Amino acid sequence: MKTQDCVAPDYGYLRPMKRPESATFPVYKKLEEILTDTTEHPDRVIAHTLATCSGYAYSDAATVAMIMARVGLEGNHCRQISQDVDAMFICSHAYLVQSSDGRVVILCYRGTEPMNFINWLTDADVNPETVAVPFADPPVSFQVHGGFYRNVRATRHEVIHALERALEGRSVRAKGKLMPHALEALYITGHSLGAAMAAMMAIMLRTEEAYAPLSRKLRAVYTYGQPMIADPALAKACDADEFLHDNVIRYVFGSDVVPQLPPTVSGPFAHFGQERHCGPGTSAVPVTQPTQQLGNLTGLVAAPLAFLTHQLRLFRNLPFQQSLYDHGPQHYITALTPAGVNSEYGDPG
């Protein structure tokens, strides 16, 4: 198990620098208050904030802390908890970003790295695993994606211990120093594999009695390009839970193929929660019919082909029903940036 702790800057040191007036940080001046006080989801500021966090989770704790400080959580405490076991198809990376006042924590899971073969094997490790989920007493058994479930469990206990420190008014970092306030608002997020892990952790928090104190602080789960994690029976049970139905928000960009995975040849899977579609030049819109499972393997062939043709100007506008190019986290960040809002680099919106 590896951990990395850091504290983000407050960006006061940037003010003397010569740069355009529009390139000011933080992007959101009162982000702690927005994250703490918002009661209805999805919220466009929070969707943009968590998409940005999910995109930069492909880096390290120092980078995540810096970017989240730019977005609005200046002076945040950031902890990375990781476990890699290639033979077990485990590549689990969780980031805990805690506001400087201690009231807000974002739990962000890193997604699938395109060049990391072990991650792809994790996603392909779809052999269902039967787990007892205590939606009722006694718990009912359901089937979940084995690879996603294994990756959540790999770092779960360390993540929970850090969140419990936040509940006690301490830092999520290993030193655990006192914070001005105890945890009031918890958000979970991720892109791709990270999105699947976020959804899986949400189910655990909502159903495990031992996690009830943390569940009461959970405000929402925002995922981006999330594959399916549960069999249809578990998805139905999740949708019967008011919180999971209303406050798990899944964003799908363009023709992103990953939300249609695993394909039906791997067994039956289904989504739960709210689904919102976004694309180039369009705002996120809700859908009444959730994304369906990929019915055959031709889409898996077309998806990388769409990525390749996008690199060639002559073929860039060819229509594809499934696209790996549209899965990129940068597309989600761009599509969910509100009009007139600066980017994490300070570029004017």
Residue 296's pLDDT is 59
Residue 203's pLDDT is 98
Does residue 201 contact residue 195 with C-beta atoms inside 8 Å?
A: no
What DSSP string runs through 197-252?
Answer: HHHHHHHHHHH-GGGHHHHTTEEEEEEESPPP-B-HHHHHHHHHSHHHHHHEEEEE
- φ and ψ at 282, to 5 degrees? -125, 150
User: Shortest CA distance to 81 belongs to which of 143, 181, 153?
Assistant: 153
- φ and ψ at 115, to 5 degrees? -95, 5
Tell me the C-alpha distance between 139 and 158, whole Å: 25
Tell me the C-alpha distance between 152 and 122, whole Å: 12
Residue type, 2: K
Domain ranges of the chain: 2-335
Does residue 196 contact residue 273 with C-beta atoms inside 8 Å?
A: no
Q: Could you say which residues of the chain have pLDDT below 70?
A: 11-23, 114-115, 117-122, 281, 296-322
Residue 10's pLDDT is 73
Residue 308's pLDDT is 42
Cis peptide before 138 (omega within 30 of 0): yes
Tell me the C-alpha distance between 139 and 131, whole Å: 9
User: Shortest CA distance to 173 belongs to which of 78, 101, 93?
Assistant: 78
Residue 5's pLDDT is 87
- Give, rounded to a whole angstrom, the gap between the first and last alpha carbons of the chain: 40
Sign of CA dihedral 178, 181, 182, 187: negative
Q: Give the start-end residues of each E strand in 8-148.
A: 77-85, 90-98, 104-109, 128-133, 140-145
Instruction: Output the six-digit token pair for 306.
Output: 């769409």
- φ and ψ at 82, to 5 degrees? -135, 150
pTM of structure? 0.91
Q: Give the start-end residues of each E strand in 46-196.
A: 77-85, 90-98, 104-109, 128-133, 140-145, 185-191
Sign of CA dihedral 35, 37, 39, 45: negative
Domain 2-335 in this protein, CATH class: alpha beta
Residue 120's pLDDT is 65
Tell me the C-alpha distance between 147 and 89, whole Å: 7
Residue 313's pLDDT is 44
